[in-house]
Amino acid sequence: MKRLAVVLAAGQGKRMKSKLYKVLHPVCGKPMVGHVLSTVQNVGVSRSIVVVGHGAEAVQAYLGADAEYVLQEEQLGTGHAVKQAKALLGNEEGTTIVICGDTPLVTSETLEGLMQLHETRGAAATVLTAQMENPTGYGRVIRDAGNGGVLRIVEQKDCSPEEQAVTEINTGTYCFDNAKLFAALEKITNQNAQQEYYLTDVIGIFRSEGEGVEAYLTKDVSESIGVNDRVALSEAEGYMRERIVKKHMLNGVTVIDPSSTYIGADVQIGSDTVLYPGTVLKGKTVIGESCIIGPSSDIEDSEIHNESEVKHSVLSGAIVGAHTTVGPFAYLRPGAKLGEHVKIGDFVEVKNASIDDHSKVSHLSYVGDARVGKNVNIGCGAITVNYDGYNKSVTEIEDDAFIGSNVNLVAPIKVGKGAFVVAGSTITHHVADNDLAIARTRQENKSGYASKIRARAKAKKDKDQS
């Protein structure tokens, strides 16, 4: 049976009090609507329709070609929102998921269970429900005392005192027989406290026509969280963080202190890797097997290969080869690419530069816009001088070269294979293979001159104070 999806993402989200459109607020580094779309696509949905309204251009820019879009120009309720998809889905046959774009915690496992129940029972609609101790603000699910089916869903503002006492709530996620859904949407009205067209009224229509309506009770009440303000956003973040960390630990990753470790939703980590406290992993970061990460490392959109170590360091858009060590207190900026068995030490910054296998930049150096070969040693305080105030130029250091401490390599420049650059030099011309380069004035010692300088300074100070 064909599976379809309608994601409701048209609400303004005034309670967020934000310039950022509500469904684009991130949970564990990924916008909420991105979580929802990934979830529905994981259960075999062939067409995903996102209903947009406020912030439509921003939502479409983020999701791109992963979805189709319809515009709800006026926000007249959930039923009205789903009806906007009729032009795209009205002639389809199959099962349609309807889900809100601000419910990032719903899992694909739960959706699969919901859809299997719906399809097995041949229901016109199946509602995802949850038991909640304090259901204030949620629509109540009113069941048939005889067969347990759903009689109706009543919104909070329309509940009688007896209905308000019900603790089974509507999560806002549904499965429908697609053809029956769009037929019923033509019959709903806005005769309610909000004067809106409620999608939940479809349930009553189905019941009046003798159609079956089922409910699937989620095991995890956190999946019912709909994010409408910053408090709920924080709660969703906490649940998602816990879920993500648990998933990685069950996959063989050691997390020393889960409460102080942040792992983004799209991060991948290999088995036997150890994450120490204070580790922050974001974006599309991929970490291999048997790595040691942390403590206190911040890594975003980077790739770290097997058996490498990163501690007390910041990486952004970097690639770290296998068996390589980074830190403590290193900074790898976008375009940094390290080979295998490379050492990047304390207070080293690398930007838009490749450093090949077995090379070392042990401490207090800047390597930017550079191509460094194999088995190169770059000494303490060495700098590639890549920017003249107008243009950035490239430094090339070939295999087996040695760059002494406090060397300035003024780009564009090339240091040849096996060349040796003497400490303290400022190099402005190419260095040929196996040459030794030195560029500093000859040292001259003036006997006793330091005493004369001190005496002169003291005399001036005494004169100024008299």
Active site residues: 363
Q: Is 377 annotated as a binding residue?
A: yes
Q: Is 9 annotated as a binding residue?
A: yes
Beta bridge partners of residue 150, listed in sequence order: 143
Q: Quickly list H helices, 17-169.
A: 32-41, 56-63, 78-83, 86-89, 108-121, 161-164
Strands of 280-282's sheet in order across: 262-263, 280-282, 298-300, 314-316, 331-332, 349-351, 366-368, 383-385, 408-410, 426-427
C-beta separation of 96 from 176 below 8 A: yes
Q: Is 423 annotated as a binding residue?
A: yes
Q: Is 8 annotated as a binding residue?
A: yes
Q: Is 230 annotated as a binding residue?
A: no
Q: Is 67 annotated as a binding residue?
A: no
Written as one letter, the residue type at 278 is G
The pairing of beta strand 383-385 with beta strand 408-410 = parallel
- Burial class, 250, CB count within 10 angstroms (exposed 0-12 / middle 13-18 / buried 19+): exposed
Q: Is 111 annotated as a binding residue?
A: no
C-beta separation of 331 from 349 below 8 A: yes
Q: Is 368 annotated as a binding residue?
A: no
Q: Is 155 annotated as a binding residue?
A: yes
Q: Which residue has the tokens 């979805």?
A: 67
Q: Is 72 annotated as a binding residue?
A: yes
Q: Is 325 annotated as a binding residue?
A: no
Q: Is 405 annotated as a binding residue?
A: yes
Q: Is 90 annotated as a binding residue?
A: no
> In 334-388, at which residue ranges do the beta strands (DSSP E only) sit?
337-338, 343-346, 349-351, 354-355, 360-363, 366-368, 370-372, 377-378, 383-385
Q: Is 387 annotated as a binding residue?
A: yes
Q: Is 102 annotated as a binding residue?
A: yes
Written as one letter, the residue type at 96 is T
Q: Is 359 annotated as a binding residue?
A: no
Under DSSP, the state recorded for 429 is S
Beta bridge partners of residue 378, listed in sequence order: 361, 403
Phi, psi of 456 (to 5 degrees): -65, -40
Q: Is 151 annotated as a binding residue?
A: no
C-beta separation of 22 from 87 below 8 A: no
C-beta separation of 156 from 137 below 8 A: yes
Residue numbers in the known binding site for acetyl-CoA are 386-387, 405, 423, 440
Residue numbers in the known binding site for Mg(2+) are 102, 228
Residue numbers in the known binding site for UDP-N-acetyl-alpha-D-glucosamine are 8-11, 22, 72, 77-78, 139, 155, 170, 228, 333, 351, 366, 377
Residue numbers in the known binding site are 8-11, 22, 72, 77-78, 102, 139, 155, 170, 228, 333, 351, 366, 377, 386-387, 405, 423, 440
